[in-house]
Structures are given as structure tokens and as C-alpha cells.
Amino acid sequence: MIFYKSEEEIDLIRESSLLVAKTHAEISKLIKPGVTTLYLDRIAEEFIRDNGGIPAFKGYGGFPNSLCTSVNSHVVHGIPNDNNLINGDIISVDCGVLMNGYFGDSAYTYCVGNVSEEIKKLLEVTKESLNKGIEKAIVGNRLGDVGFAINNYVSQYGYGVVREMVGHGIGRSLHEDPQVPNYGRRGSGIKLKEGLVIAIEPMINLGSSKIEQLSDGWTIRTVDKKCSAHFEHTIVVRAHKAEVLTSFKEIENILN
């Protein structure tokens, strides 16, 4: 069942989403060789709680931490640990916040130190594919238009689009209907209406689209062990241009 949000509800989701963005900005200051993902997780949880939020992922379905930290060939749902990040790594950080009864959710893939041009290009294309999907999230289009835009953009680079993991509706629950695939046919799927709030999150692999789950029951990895990138925004469907509720602006001010 799809729940369309009132402007009052969107305001509350916006608050949660902005705290997600600010948490990312805090984390972005710390990502460098030698840092552990468990340290990033601890800082994120403290920051979220200090600002009146609750980490959305901690305890969700039994997930043990506040961030999903997925390094290199890990696609999503990586569990923070004591391993040091090393120069040349990439790390997808997925963060969710619950505040005032509503969720916000966003992911960003960071470079650790000096990353190869090949991997930088993967990140650039993945982030731009998110923008391509968001451009299609307007009233009157269909859900398939969003996925088609992402897949169509990525395919020209020969990358693999993960098909099993998808974006989602978001609001009072972290994961609501509809599912938002990163592929699709133009003109297919539900018609997009004002007030639909969704998280769009392309997961794009340097090589094959094939993935597998690790024995920890959470971490998703590329089968060919090649790197994967992941970017995500929480957005609301509007008449002429989707409104992005999360933000990469503060992250990129720090990174630049």
C-alpha cells in the first residue's frame, strides 16, 4: 500500500533527511586511511542522538550498527568493523535517521586517500545516474521512467546495475511501498503523484551486476569482487521538478 504524504508530513521527513545530511558531513571529515568503520559508526550515532534523532538502522531487522559501511566490492549493508581503511579504498556510507516519527535515508560513496581514475569514474557515473533518476520523478511520469533513466545512463559505460537491491518508499516506516528499481521500461509501473516520497539509490558495479550475500547475513558483495558504488537521496515527487529532501551539499563543501 502506497502512502502519499501531506505537506506537514513532508516537513517532518525533511527534518530527518537534513539530519542525515549533516551526519554525512560529520563523517566526511573523518574518512581517511587508518580510520575504522566502527569509529565512523560511533561518531555518527553520537551525532544523531545529540541532535534529537534516533539511528534508523540500529536494531532494524537485527542490524547491529547505526551506519551501513560497504568497502570496495561490498555493495550495501556492510557491518562496521575494526579494520582500518587504506589508501585507494572506496566506502559507501548509508545513513538513516528517525525523528518526530518519520525517517530520512541517504547514501554517499567516499574516496579514501588517492583512488584510481577508473574508480573515480565509477563514482561520478553512479552519482550522475541518481540525478538522472531524480529528474524523472515528477507528477505524470511512471516509476519505470525513473529506473529506465538510471539504467540507460549507466549502460553506456559498461557497468553492472544491481537488480536485486532497490530503492523504496519512505515515511513513517523506513521501507514502504513502492519498490524503486534502478532499471525499468519507460511508461511502465505506477503513475507518479504529488506527495510520493521515495528513496532512489542506484548501486552500480564496475564489472558484473551479479551479487552475493556474505555469511554475516547482511553484507552484499559483487560476485566478481570488483568495486561497487552507491548514492541515495530521499526525494518527494513534485509537479515540475522533484524536491530532494536529503543533501550532498555539506558533504561536498567539506570534500572540496
SS3 (DSSP) at 158: coil
pLDDT of residue 194: 98
pLDDT of residue 115: 98
Cβ neighbours around 157 below 10 Å, total: 14
SS3 (DSSP) at 75: strand
Q: Name residues of the chain where pLDDT drops below 50.
A: none
Q: What residues contact 45, with CB distance under 8 A and at least 6 apart?
A: 55, 58, 65, 66
pLDDT of residue 203: 98
Q: CA angle, corner 85, sides to 83 and 87, nearest 5?
A: 145
The CATH number for 7-255, chosen from 3.40.50.300, 3.90.1150.10, 3.90.230.10, 3.40.50.11540, is: 3.90.230.10
Using one digit for the tens of pLDDT, what is the confidence trace for 122-162? 999 999 999 999 999 999 999 999 999 999 999 999 999 99
Q: Enumerate the domain spans of the chain.
A: 7-255
pLDDT of residue 16: 98
pLDDT of residue 224: 98
Using one digit for the tens of pLDDT, what is the confidence trace for 82-101? 999 999 999 999 999 999 99
pLDDT of residue 26: 98
Q: What residues contact 88, with CB distance under 8 A and at least 6 apart?
A: 112, 113, 114, 115, 116
Q: What are the phi and psi torsion angles at 147 (to 5°)?
A: -65, -40
pLDDT of residue 111: 98
- Stated length of the chain: 256
